[in-house]
Chains A and B, each alone.
Chain A
């Protein structure tokens, strides 16, 4: 990175013509706008097509205030960042919880409305001709002239913005965003507030775009509806993807490269965007990690992968108040007329293991989804630690002391084991280093400490389950819901899992186990509930379930004894 910065500096000082400097300045402007886009889209996965529009709004704020009202840089620059932010927040609140393609559409709609406004409000914006005579940026009484000084100002801000963006990306915000990009449901059950994180990312993207727009206008000295047109958005998107998704260095590499491309394809005139389209398509298909990703891979091949320094394992603190477990009364949920869960009541006491069984489709997984807040119940009351949490969202329940696992262990693709586990403490710990130290403790406790440096991809099923369990355990939950944790394990592994669960219950955890494997479940559970078509048909001691007529009937549809139950 240092080499690249020096090369840019040498080029700017020694070789660049005034025109070359201008291209370099504009490249800096785009790098700055793309930093924000990397956070909202690259890390957060929300394809915002309003980044170009926020850029345009920042440009118009500086243009209008500078040329019409004669305000100086010290006022216009912060306002150029503030106005897009104020626009982004209400819009984000409204649309950020939507599916990704709806979000793309909604942001595109906003961009179109803003463009229409700019063209159709000539008293304010100068209409389609725009406004000329925007003053230079004035810093401490010095009007920054075009050429080297302006390039210096822009690239100074690029360095500052890049540093801020890099720190955000590496810190809790960046990790949390990646987590919810890869698996929003799992992120919520780990206690991350998906809506708030996305809103923060969207707001930050608007700040960067506004700053870039302001600098663009100081470079051009005019502002016209062109700054709100789709090519700006296309350029930002292309810079981000070609440079490398989610990376600040990628934004710089992509911007410098792509802003110089049109110079090499000058015969195409405005059609240079064809080249952008082709570069975008080729990158998505052939090198989805972008140029910086490619460079990384080459470097890794040449120098070998450097093992990352890892913090020492540290036991995470127990939550101050131990909860009184989870109490559920009269839980109901229908899907389009089918009663999936019909009046289920249960009580998970601290220090106990409760089993939940039932034939396929009897509503077990729906119960777990309702208890963990992934589905909303139609009726019923839920108390967690004595407090009413009926209808609470998954992330709030998680922060209140509830953890769950998924039937198919949900680990993000391509992430390291330590990173994936540490994600479970992003909502609790002050920084990522602490979260990783705690994650090592949980991995050690499950006997898989040696996996910390590995990737989640390609782990065998049994190890994946342990890693996921480490993730659930790490938050020291008061209540733990496990959805078929023994599926696919060998007998030896099952015995180890059973011992671990006993130990956890011994420490005061309340555990709910959804299981098919009676040989594993019955010796472990104190109490067992059996569901059939959403209703509880058995609720009593584990050893009574084998001889219960209703349970056998539910499994077999008759009163004969059930081989699965009596095995």
Chain B
């Protein structure tokens, strides 16, 4: 029973991590840029939700679209300031520019909101359901449902729509896509907007149960990165699976030992994965670009 309870908690956490990792992979695939600011964008989404809550005293589910739109706008800004001017430069320039954006977000948030942890409102309610002896907080169910909905919607856009085809073409081969008449720059902007909106959603979902502080981003980017590495660099289903895996690992190990121990074990596992299987546990999905 205890194991089942941990599973429930782990899946809810994993669903939120999956959104973090998903935003990271989308940008990675479209631009081969590693976005080090992803964790800080999640933090920004969480704090944004926490700041909006007193202004819009409604459940979190109503806040969600507002956060998505505002964060998408932030994503456009990120692409314009830190990616597009550097697209012809070596990849390390983009690492550094996104690290810089992360620093600005993190410390900007510290100035605006102070270092105290804040919570976002729950999506629907704060109650805890008791199902067959399991304590299932409504928020956990809501997180899983909302994350599944967002991931599913995104998959649908990518698989079934004209926009999705263009986004995939851009991700696969920008030069070829441009030659076929796809507006590549616009597609890159859209990708950054979607990726950042994902981060915002993850922030809103996480910031209720786990609180958010301006320095939360560092841990989150590492977890997104671990999920993507474990799941196979560039693979979307792999990233979701990786996110669930690390959330279960974290919840499981913290219940036996402690949270810092779980975190330490997670990083050590990551190092082991990198050394032994750099192509990820499920194989490499992204081919190398020239």
Q: Residues of A with Cβ closer than 8 Å to B?
A: 45, 47, 94-95, 98-102, 104-106, 108-110, 112-113, 116-117, 119-120, 230, 234, 237, 241, 268-274, 276-278, 280-281, 284-285, 288
Contacts and interface: CB of A to CB of B under 8 A. Distances in A.
B53 interface: no
A274 B260 contact: no
B51 interface: no
B96 A271 contact: no
Contact of B104 (A45, A108, A269, A274): A274
A268 B111 contact: yes
B222 A113 contact: no
Interface in B221-255: 222, 225, 229
B267 A113 contact: yes
B172 interface: no
6 contacts: A95-B271, A98-B274, A109-B270, A113-B268, A269-B111, A281-B101
B110 interface: yes
A285 B86 contact: yes
B154 interface: no
Contacts of B81: 281, 285
Contacts of A277: 100-104, 107
Contacts of B225: 105
A288 B91 contact: no
A105 B82 contact: no
A338 to B, nearest CB: 14
Given A95-B275, A113-B264, A281 B100 contact: yes
B11 to A, nearest CB: 25
Contacts, number: 109
A261 to B, nearest CB: 13
A116 B107 contact: no
Closest 5 CB pairs of A and B: A277-B103, A277-B104, A281-B100, A280-B100, A271-B111
Contacts of A272: 107
| Chain A interface helix/strand/loop/mixed | helix
A47 B108 CA distance: 25
B85 interface: yes
| Chain B interface helix/strand/loop/mixed | helix
Given A94-B275, A95-B275, A274-B111, A109 B267 contact: yes
A285 B260 contact: no
Contacts of B146: none
Given A108-B222, A274-B108, 5 more contacts: A94-B274, A112-B263, A113-B268, A278-B100, A284-B86
A284 B263 contact: no
Contact of B278 (A45, A98, A230, A284): A98
A81 B30 CA distance: 42
B29 to A, nearest CB: 14
Contact of A112 (B34, B267, B275, B278): B267
Contacts of B92: 45, 47, 100
Contacts of B91: 100-101
Given A270-B110, A281-B82, A116 B264 contact: yes
A45 B90 CA distance: 10
Contacts of A270: 107, 110
A281 B104 contact: yes
Nearest to A273: B107
Interface residues of B, number: 39
With a 10 A CB-CB cut-off, give which of B95, B99, B106, B260 has the most chain A CB atoms.
B99
Contacts of B216: none
Given A47-B92, A284-B97, A274 B103 contact: yes
Interface in B70-106: 81-82, 85-86, 89, 91-93, 95-97, 99-104, 106
B121 to A, nearest CB: 27
A60 B283 CA distance: 40
A99 B95 CA distance: 13
Contacts of B263: 112, 116
Interface in B92-143: 92-93, 95-97, 99-104, 106-108, 110-111
Contact of B85 (A98, A100, A276, A285): A285
B164 interface: no
A20 to B, nearest CB: 24
Contact of A237 (B86, B99, B271, B278): B99
A234 B229 contact: no
A271 B107 contact: yes
A104 B34 CA distance: 11
B235 to A, nearest CB: 15
B43 to A, nearest CB: 13
A288 B93 contact: yes
Contacts of A119: 260
Contacts of A110: 267, 271
B230 to A, nearest CB: 12
A120 B34 CA distance: 31
Contacts of B229: 102, 105
Contact of B222 (A100, A105, A285, A288): A105
A113 B265 CA distance: 9
B260 A281 contact: no
A107 to B, nearest CB: 10
A109 B266 CA distance: 9
Contacts of B99: 234, 237, 280
A284 B89 CA distance: 10
A76 B210 CA distance: 42
Contacts of B107: 270-274, 277
Contacts of B264: 113, 116-117
Contacts of B219: 112
B100 A101 contact: no
B96 A280 contact: yes
A353 B268 CA distance: 53
A493 to B, nearest CB: 27
Contacts of A94: 271, 274-275
Contacts of B271: 94-95, 106, 109-110
Nearest to B269: A109
Nearest to A101: B34
Nearest to A106: B274
Contact of A280 (B34, B89, B103, B106): B103
Contacts of A108: 222
A185 to B, nearest CB: 11
Contacts of B96: 47, 237, 241, 280, 284
With a 10 A CB-CB cut-off, give which of A100, A106, A119, A268 has the most chain B CB atoms.
A106
Contacts of A285: 81-82, 85-86, 97
Contact of B218 (A116, A117, A230, A268): A230
Contacts of A120: 260
A237 B267 CA distance: 22
A273 B101 CA distance: 11
Contacts of A241: 96
A127 to B, nearest CB: 12
A285 B97 CA distance: 8
Contacts of B101: 277, 281
Contacts of A109: 222, 267, 270-271
With a 10 A CB-CB cut-off, give which of A113, A120, A276 has the most chain B CB atoms.
A113
A45 B110 CA distance: 31
A109 to B, nearest CB: 4
A47 B271 CA distance: 16
Nearest to A269: B111
